[in-house]
Amino acid sequence: MTKKSGQSKAAADKLVKSIRRKTRQTYSSEEKIRIVLAGLRGEESISALCRREGIAEGQYYSWSKEFLEAGKRRLSGDTARQATSPEVKNLRSESLALKECVADLTLENRLLKKSMTDSGEYEE
């Protein structure tokens, strides 16, 4: 009997964990920012804010740290945009096409100038 009750308790614990995982609330970035700014205003204590929002204090402090670090990076100009691989390939191919176009036009221009100077019509 003990073995059965131990197995059913383990199964029940597993079921409870899966339900908690599936019903866990996720916060959008706007909600996180709103909560962090409310805490930074200092109108109420952090513990009261966390109770009202239904989050752990540790979670609040993690969000707050991320928020402040992102602001610090942005203000220091550390936020160079990372181009994706397809974007880089497209830009490289476009650059190559433009370079070829410039080379063709330059060659054509030189040939025209040379033909004009040979016939005596054009002098620089």
Identify the pLDDT of residue 120.
Answer: 64
Q: What is the pLDDT of residues 38-58, one digit of tens each?
A: 999 999 999 999 999 999 999
Characterise 3 by phi-psi region: left (phi > 0), alpha (psi -120 to 50), beta (else).
Answer: alpha
Q: What are the tens digits of pLDDT across the range 90-121?
A: 999 999 999 999 999 999 999 999 988 877 66
- pLDDT at residue 99, as a whole number: 96
Q: What is the pLDDT of residue 3?
A: 57
| Residue 122, pLDDT score | 58
How crowded is residue 64: how many other Cβ atoms within 10 Å of its Cβ? 17
